[in-house]
């Protein structure tokens, strides 16, 4: 990992284990996204999973959503991720059909959307691209639609930032990561993952014209938000 972090075939092989052991609360966030989608999905609408990786959120929504005529569009820019996602969903998907696409989320046309999910993906975009993507998402959402945004966040207060980092490292140690593995993973991700503060995320959602933005989950520096069209 010291040469940089990429979502290639090697990462895909270990991704489920890696994210469960690295992101506290991930295994709770995913099924809760399914329940949120069940509540806000509208009949004959599209549900988007942008940066779907192996399709965990898409699967949860496919199993949970009851809205008639709804369908899921799951996109990821990693060919290795998309290939495994397609195979995974072919075996386990629920009643709501999932169309998995090899596509950059910045190029995805958001249309007739009642639910859009960005589950730990916005943080990998350049900061100057983030507002444009949220604007694009908001413009393509139906009235009453919901955006679910999960992110690693940072903190303006240096003491709190240091505490949150220490707690996260304690979590990783409890999952069996060595000190070397923790350091290597942190160094690799720092090249590609640039977190924002909660205030910046909420401001971005507001500027896109979304309302009622609020945090519904947080564990250490990992949080998930929901906002409405």
pLDDT tens digit at each of 229 positions of the chain: 334 456 667 777 788 888 999 999 999 999 999 999 999 999 999 999 999 999 999 999 999 999 999 999 999 999 999 999 999 999 887 899 999 999 999 999 999 999 999 999 999 999 999 999 999 999 999 999 999 999 999 999 999 999 999 999 999 999 998 887 767 766 666 668 899 999 999 999 999 999 999 999 999 999 999 999 9
Helices (H), 41-157: 56-64, 79-92, 127-139
User: What are the backbone dihedrals phi and psi of residue 75, each rounded to the nearest 5 degrees, phi first?
Assistant: -125, 145
Q: What is the largest CA-CA distance in the chain?
A: 50
Helix (H, G, I), strand (E, B) or coil at 146: strand
pLDDT of amino acid 3: 40
Domains in the chain with CATH codes: 9-228 (3.40.50.150)
Strand partners, 141: 113
pLDDT at 16: 85
- pTM of the predicted model, to two decimals? 0.92
């Amino acid at each position: 990992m010291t040469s940089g972090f990429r979502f290639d075939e090697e990462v895909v092989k270990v991704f489920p284990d890696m994210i469960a052991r690295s992101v506290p609360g991930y295994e709770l966030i995913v099924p809760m996204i399914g329940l949120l989608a069940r509540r806000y999905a509208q009949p004959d609408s599209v549900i988007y999973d942008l940066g779907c990786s192996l399709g965990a959120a898409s699967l949860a929504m496919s199993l949970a959503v009851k809205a008639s005529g709804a369908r899921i569009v799951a996109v990821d820019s990693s060919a290795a991720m998309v290939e495994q996602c397609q195979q995974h969903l072919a075996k386990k998907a629920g009643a709501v059909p999932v169309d998995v696409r090899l596509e950059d989320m910045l190029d995805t046309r958001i249309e007739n959307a009642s639910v859009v999910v960005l589950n730990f993906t916005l943080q990998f975009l350049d900061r100057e691209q983030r507002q444009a993507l949220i604007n694009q998402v908001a413009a393509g959402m139906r009235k009453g639609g919901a955006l679910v945004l999960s992110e690693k966040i940072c903190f303006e207060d240096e003491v709190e930032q240091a505490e949150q980092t220490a707690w996260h490292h304690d979590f990783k140690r409890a999952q069996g990561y060595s000190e070397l593995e923790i350091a290597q993973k942190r160094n690799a991700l720092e090249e590609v993952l640039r977190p924002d503060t909660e205030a910046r995320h909420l401001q971005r959602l507001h500027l896109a014209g979304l309302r009622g933005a609020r945090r519904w989950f947080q564990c250490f520096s990992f949080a998930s938000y929901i906002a409405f069209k």
